[in-house]
Structure 1
Amino acid sequence: MVEGLPFLMWRKQLRLLLGSAPSRSLPNFRPSISSSAITQRFTDPSPWQKLRQELGFSLGLAFRAMSSSALLRLNDLQDSPGRKHKKRRKGRGIGSGRGKTAGRGHKGQKARGTMKFGFEGGQTPLRRLLPKRGFKNPFGLTFQPVDLGKIAELINAGKIDSGELISMKTLKDTAAIGKQINDGVKLIGRGAEHIQWPIHLEVSRVTVGAKAAVEAAGGSVRKVYYNKLGLRALLKPEWFEKKGRLLPRAARPPPKQRDKVDSIGRLPAPTKPIPFLPKEQDPLESQ
């Protein structure tokens, strides 16, 4: 049964296509429920057959022509003008279509962003597959070694005055040690037989043999503590003067190094030795 607004639209389209055909009123397709109408249904031609006879061409061709020029077709549906933004995805993990992670984003598009260094797509990275070798102590200290034979050679050459205090700055200025001094200087006993006169030194560490050789000649060795900033102020005081800064105060040693040093380092670089005091008058205890 064809009725209502769809039927009117169909009739209007049909009339537009058949502009040359005579305009006739279409029959009423509302079926009657009377018995005479039912018997007449099988005897008289149907309304569609009458319409086909009046129009003079195939009904299938008419439907095909109407579908090609319909007002609304599914394959012509489009968004309103200006609607070009993609729908924002929510609840889809990191990024959610905003391009914050690497890989593929919404609808297969390549997302913007980078992966963190060492990421290999979720598998075990190579840095974890390779075995570890060795151990580096984060609390270890690195000292620049200097032997007594080198000091004796510089004294004989007149570059070091044996009557003055030999500090780490003196050793650096006379090229007894290198320029790369990390945590201080360590005195070793190589060439101890060349020390025939008393000398006084201030270093960070000293071996047992070197200390015994210096004390046997009438000299002394004091183990002093300097932190990183204090060591720079000792070796390069001109840097602070260039920057217009004052020299820092000497730092106290940490608890784990108190038993390994004799006193706190002095700033600026000292030129005279200080005598050793009894244990109860140790400078570390008094400061």
Structure 2
Amino acid sequence: MSVRNLIEKNSQSMTPSERKLTAVLLSDYPFAGLASIQELAERAEVSPPSISRFVTKIGLSGYAEMQRSLIAEMKDGDRSPVEIHATGKQIEGGYLSGFLSRAVGQMQSAGAAITEGQFNRICALFADPKRNIYALGGRISDTIAQHLSFHLRQARAGVFHIPRDPERWPEYLLRMKPGDVLFLVDFRRYQPNLRRLAKQAADRKAQVVLMTDKWMSPANKYATEVLAVPIEISTIWDSYAAALAVTEAMATHVAEEDWEATRQRIEAWDAVRQTEQESSS
């Protein structure tokens, strides 16, 4: 059984710090696990003894055995070519088809980096009617947060998109109750104010779900769940195609899990929209 499969098998029993470690390991699999235990501990913001306990927990005798297993996987060709970034390579041939091909590879890498266990845990948080959901992203990545909040609002009540103006954030922070969820999206060229917002939400006992990249937003220090999605496709800008796909998968899964309630809410939503259109015409 591969190290990735061992992690997946034990994902349900992991602590918040072990989930952070899992996100780091899977975001750059298998290379992250080939670093020294001190380097991995610094990157994941956990202690070396915590890593040793984690490795034992997933069924290996120690960190050295995990590294040997990862090297063996590489030699056996277990790592898919779509997980290897083509850094610095220009798109050859038709640009559109080449770009879309890289985007497909990026999405497949996202599927390998996020376990089904983690996906289901986060969807359960989003679906819990006792929890309010707050969403916000960075300068460009806020479109991902808006996408999630718009679709979740059609499926359930208590979903809020936080405005980008930090002067308005106290209003939303003061609403947060213990157990509520803050969904943050922060990719490289990270925003310091999102780190501060994550800390303030965590101080209020909210659950911070962070979507970031393999380099890890500083906000990950306060996150209970970290979704490390690939964003590199060797073009002038990073691509958020995989991030959007993961976001749509979460919103769709939440909506379909209780379809009867979702159907009733969408019908009521559309009825209000229709009334507004008729009154304005």
Which TM-score tier does this pair reach, normalised by the shorter chain?
under 0.3
Give me the TM-score of the superposition, normalised by structure 2.
0.19
* Larger relative helix fraction: 2
Larger Rg: 1
